[in-house]
Amino acid sequence: MLFKNFTKIVLAVALTFTCISFLLIKIDSVSAATTENATVNTKGSPLTVRSGPGTSYKKVGSLEKGKAVTVYSKTKSGWSEIRYNKKKAYVSTKYLKFSNVKITKKKYKNISDLSYPQVSGLKSKAAQDKINQVLTKHAKDAYSSYLQAKKDREKDKNEEWCKESPYSCQYSYSISYKVKFNQDGKLSILIDDYYYSGGAHGMGYTTSYNFKESSGKRVKISEILTSKAKYTKVQKYAYDFMRKRDSFYVKKQSDVPVNKDSQFYYTNGGIYLVFQEYEVAPYAAGHPAVKIPSKVYK
């Protein structure tokens, strides 16, 4: 009897603390109907990322100046909720620079596997429409691939080999995106296409969309690397970076593909080159990116 009463007391105390904690979090939090886009705006040193909204919480990492982040909510005490290594984390709001350009997540034809971005808040509606048309076209093209994967799955599901190994004919197609830069009149968005046709894993491809916010014009790497000499300098810089790290398997400079089809995104003081799966590293590395300072190609 005494044990039962003690258990009830412990549970009651635990519930009370849980309720108090929830209320404190709720009071401190300012809920956001939509996410906001910001960039790290520290003066020099990286911005500390913590596990909770306060300096007493554990440091889980850091973000360099100019790094784009998505803010999910803000607290009244001055902290912003972000995602760091796919987990909830917090940074000090005062070191973030928020953009007037908003990025909204859309689902093409209301299909959860086909997520794509749309922008708003640009001064020029013509530029805004131009950017959104380009991003919508990517989703539209992905929808055709999505339907084809669905068709292939239906066609093969009754085949004997598919019945014996169902995982080998689970075709699917999806897209997702990341905002990588959104400041100083420049916008960089990466859209990842992923196709699975059975086996251990699928295959993905990253497409970079870089825009001038004033005109809505898409910027290709050929407008940044305007000569063969600049391509060579960037290739050498990327190769020197990779050969010092075991995560890459390049053996010579020519193993690093840098050409007019190379994907990139803006960052403070330069660009990031984005490589596709297996181009310069094993599949587990995904789509590695190497920062190229502007002094290399200017």
Can you give the CATH number for the domain in which 56 is found?
Answer: 2.30.30.40
Average pLDDT for 154-178: 84
User: Distance between CA atoms of 269 and 48, rounded to whole angstroms?
Assistant: 20
Do residues 111 and 213 both lie within one domain?
Answer: yes
- Same domain for 106 and 211, yes or no, is yes
Asked if residue 283 belongs to a domain, the reply is yes
| Segment 232-237 long-range contacts (CB within 8 Å, at least 24 positions apart) | 233/296, 233/297, 234/258, 234/273, 234/292, 234/296, 234/297, 237/292, 237/296
- The C-alpha atoms of residue 218 and residue 249 are separated, in whole angstroms, by 32
Residue range 227-255: mean pLDDT, rounded = 95
Cβ–Cβ < 8 Å for 66, 181: yes
The proportion of the chain whose per-residue pLDDT surpasses 90, expressed as a percent, equals 67
Residue, of 170 and 208, whose pLDDT is higher: 208
Confidence of residue 59 (pLDDT cuts 50, 70, 90): very high
Query: Cα 184–42–213 angle (5° rounding)?
Result: 10
Indicate whether 197 belongs to any domain.
yes
Q: What is the mean pLDDT of the segment spanning 22-45?
A: 61
Distance in angstroms (rounded) separating the CA atoms of residues 216 and 85 = 31
CB 189 within 8 Å of CB 117? yes
Looking at residue 136, its pLDDT comes to 98
The residue among 175, 204, 219 that closes a domain is 219
Whichever domain contains 261, its CATH number is 3.90.640.20
On whether both 124 and 194 belong to a single domain, the answer is: yes
Q: Are residues 142 and 203 in the same domain?
A: yes
Residues 249 and 235: their CA atoms lie apart, in Å, by: 15
Residue 40 placed within a domain: yes
Q: Is the pLDDT of residue 255 over 80?
A: yes
Measured CA to CA, the distance from residue 271 to residue 289 in angstroms comes to 10
The mean-pLDDT minimum among 13-27, 95-109, 131-145, 206-220 falls in: 13-27
Given pLDDT bands bounded at 50, 70 and 90, which one contains residue 10? very low
Whether residue 111 is found in the same domain as residue 201: yes
DSSP the chain: -HHHHHHHHHHHHHHHHHHHHHHHHHHHEE--SS-EEEEE--SSSPEEEESSSSTTSPEEEEE-TT-EEEE-EEETTSEEEEEETTEEEEEEGGGEEE-S-EEEEEEGGG-TTBEEEEEE--S-HHHHHHHHHHHHHHHHHHHHHHHHHHHHHHHHTTSHHHHH-GGGG--EEEEEEEEEEEETTEEEEEEEEEEE-SSS--EEEEEEEEEETTT--B--GGGTS-SHHHHHHHHHHHHHHHHT-TT----SGGGS--STT-EEEEETTEEEEE--TTTSS-GGG-S-EEEEEHHHH-
Provide mean pLDDT across the span 286-298: 95
CB 270 within 8 A of CB 291: yes
Least Cα distance to 100 among 117, 118, 122 occurs for 122
Q: Which of 98, 115, 135 is the last residue of a domain?
A: 98
16 is a domain residue: no
Residue 188 has pLDDT above 70, yes or no: yes
pLDDT confidence tier of residue 235, bands split at 50, 70 and 90: very high
Look over the chain and give the mean of its residue pLDDT values, rounded to a whole number: 87
CB atoms within 10 A of CB 52: 16
Read off the pLDDT band of 257 (50, 70, 90).
very high
227, 153: one domain: no
pLDDT at 55 over 70: yes
Residue-level pLDDT at 34: 64
pLDDT value of position 104: 92
Task: Give the domain range for residue 160.
Answer: 102-219
Mark whether 124 and 213 lie in a shared domain: yes
Residue 17 lies in a domain: no
Q: Is the pLDDT of residue 288 over 70?
A: yes
Same domain, 107 and 194: yes
Which pLDDT value is given to residue 4? 44
pLDDT at 283: 86
pLDDT of the residue at 202: 86
Give the C-alpha separation, 255 to 222, whole Å.
20
Say whether both 85 and 119 belong to one domain. Answer: no
Tell me, what's the pLDDT at 18?
Answer: 41
pLDDT (0 to 100) of residue 125: 96
pLDDT at residue 101 is higher than 50: yes
- Whether 229 is covered by a domain: the verdict is yes
Q: Is residue 151 part of a domain?
A: yes
In total, how many domains does the chain have?
A: 3
Q: Does the pLDDT value for residue 26 go beyond 70?
A: no
| Pair 129, 145 in one domain | yes
Does residue 133 sit within a domain?
yes
